[in-house]
Amino acid sequence: MAYLFQQILNALQLGSIYALIALGYTMVYGIMTMINFAHGDIFMVGAFLCFVAATVLGLSFIPALLFSMLGCALLGVVIERLAYKPLREAPRVSAVITALGVGLMLEHLTLVFSPYPRHVPALWSSASWHVGGVTLSSLQVLIIVLSVLLMVFLDWLVRRTMLGLAIRAISWDRTVAAIMGVPVDAVISLTFAIGASLGGAAGFLYALAYPVIDPYMGVIVGWKAFIAAVVGGIGNIRGAMLGGFILGAVEILVAAFLPSTYRDLIAFALLFILLICKPYGILGQPRPQKV
């Protein structure tokens, strides 16, 4: 029982990181109908910014988190303006290929600065508590709470604010949004900034939880978060969160009860079956026809 509870806690920690990254995929897809395959590498840059903040700049926890988030937000906007905006009317596949290229560029740019894996120093003096056989670290709690707070904030932003309204309107019809007076370019850039800053936060938290980082760390984690977004229903914000937690849970629980080499095999087989049953993802819906 205590073992199961411990694993659930681990699942929540991993799931909240997947969910944060999945949000970036789903937001960009929602507004541009494109998969930003560079997003996993933005997550990686977030982790490296955490490293820079902790070592070179000597920042403490909160400023370092903001440094990672803002740095990634800026990176997201620059990528969108330079690489994706010129392709907005181009076939989607061109944009996707560009995104893959941008991702590779980020990996190798990071490789230039940091040819070896790096160890991220602890920014958070972690305490642990033992409650009935379960070990609860303050870092774990912090990761889960912070992620959930960011997700609640994003959900509020998209559902309740004018910016959120504009994001939803643009994802339905960019041209009509423009003739209603919405500054479409600015809103798309902001959406990239928000998605990338969540990826940055995820990279930051990941670096604290698994403190050895390298330029390729974003590839696998990015793929998994992308799958989480698709499982939840790509384009759907709550779906991305749900998908992230589901993927985290499946991975941890499979590894907890079966040989760990089976982990990805079983996890992805389950997701595959889920997608066959629900092709648009759990919360995704086939888009109704425009009249």
Partner 1 sequence: MTSNSQINKSTRLTDILLEVRDLRVRYGHIEAVQGISFKILAGEIVALVGANGAGKSSILRAISGILPFGGEVLFEGQPIQRLGSAAIVALGIAQVPEGRGIFGTLTVKENLRLATWNRRDRRAITANLRHVFDLFPRLAERQRQLGGTLSGGEQQMLAIARALMTRAKLLLLDEPSMGLAPMLVHEIFRILKDINRTGTSLLLVEQNALMALKAASRGYVLETGRIVLHGTGRELADHPRVKEAYLG
> Distance (Å, rounded) from C-alpha 202 to C-alpha 24?
10
Which residues neighbour 114 within 8 Å (Cβ) at sequence distance 6 or greater?
48, 214, 215
Name which position in 178, 219, 256, 270 contacts partner 1 (CB under 8 A).
178
* Site stretch for partner 1 (CB under 8 A), options 32-40, 94-102, 167-175, 199-207: 167-175
Distance of CA 190 to the CA centre of its chain: 16
At closest approach, how far in Å is the CB of 168 from partner 1? 6
Should residue 183 be labelled a site residue for partner 1 when binding is judged by CB under 8 A? yes
Q: Which of 19, 75, 66, 13 is nearest to 44 (CA)?
A: 75
Q: Which two tokens stand for residue 250?
A: 């499946």
173 lines the binding site for partner 1 (CB under 8 A) = yes
- The correct pick among 145, 152, 180, 220 for binding partner 1 (CB under 8 A) is 180
Minimum distance of partner 1 from residue 181's CB (angstroms): 3
Q: Does 130 sit near partner 1 (CB under 8 A)?
A: no
Q: Is 175 near partner 1 (CB under 8 A)?
A: yes
Residue with tokens 């073992």: 3
Among 82, 90, 176, 273, binds partner 1 (CB under 8 A): 176
Where helices occur in the chain by DSSP H, the ranges are 2-32, 39-55, 61-79, 92-113, 138-160, 162-172, 174-179, 184-209, 217-232, 237-257, 263-277
Residue 157 as a binder of partner 1 (CB under 8 A): the answer is no
Binding part of the chain for partner 1, among 84-92, 100-108, 149-157, 168-176 by CB under 8 A, reads 168-176
According to the binding rule CB under 8 A, does residue 177 interact with partner 1? Answer: yes
Does position 286 interact with partner 1 (CB under 8 A)? The reply is: no
Least distance (Å) between residue 166 CB and partner 1? 7
Residue 199 near residue 20 (C-beta atoms within 8 A): yes
**Helix (H) or strand (E) run with residue 136 in it:** strand 134-137
Query: Interface with partner 1 by CB under 8 A: which residues?
Result: 162, 165-166, 168-169, 171-173, 175-184, 288, 290-291
